[in-house]
Amino acid sequence: PLIFVLNGPNLNLLGTRQPEIYGSETLDDIEALCAETADALDLAIDFRQTNVEGELISWVQEARSHAAGIVINPAGYSHTSVALMDALLASDLPVVEVHLSNIHRRESFRHLSYVSRAAQGVICGLGPHGYALALRGIAGILAQSEQ
Ligand code: DQA
């Protein structure tokens, strides 16, 4: 099964962006970790990043007909985008939301994620490893739905 791994704004800057919060690993490092994890789980991934809200929404719509599940780090749009939440709700796919940082430990405006309302599971605070856990989560959901 193909899983879309979608990344929102500013995640292209990982490695140099506030490393005290987001760590020193780059998005390429995270993609490599996801590819390795997917391989072990017999999943295929399509790993993408955009700074544009509408593009994320179009990719979620594309996932409806092309993917079996979505792992998404919506970054700043987590806290603002009703439209992204709506697209995910419409997708009818298992969705796992990931944040590198623990959003609940940070500023109060980060405590609410609209996207969480469309997610089966949410992982935050574990850095890049959260992406690997999210893929495992999706694999588990898919295995269960096959039974
Ligand atoms: C983030 C947390 C968001 O609050 C923030 O806007 C990001 C990254 C994370 O991965 O920790 O850009 O999604």
Ligand 1 atom closest to Cα of 22?
Answer: 11
Q: How many CB atoms lie within 10 A of CB 133?
A: 16
Rg of the chain over all Cα atoms, to the nearest angstrom: 14
Catalytic residue among 22, 77, 114, 131: 22
Tell me how far apart the terminal alpha carbons of the chain are, to the nearest angstrom. 16
Adjacent-strand bridge partners of 102? none
Q: Ligand 1 in contact with 10 (CB < 6 A)?
A: yes
DSSP 8-state class, residue 44:
E
ipTM, two decimals, is: 0.99
Q: How many CA atoms lie within 13 A of 47 on its CB side?
A: 20
Instruction: Kindly report, residue by residue over 33-91, the tens digit of the pLDDT.
Output: 999 999 999 999 999 999 999 999 999 999 999 999 999 999 999 999 999 999 999 99
- Output the six-digit token pair for 119: 């997610």
- Output the six-digit token pair for 116: 């969480």
Best residue among 10, 51, 78, 105 to mutate for probing ligand 1's pocket (most ligand atoms within 8 Å of CB) is: 78
Catalytic residue among 66, 77, 99, 129: 99
Tell me the whole-structure pTM to 2 decimals.
0.97
Structural domains in the chain? Answer: 2-146 (3.40.50.9100)
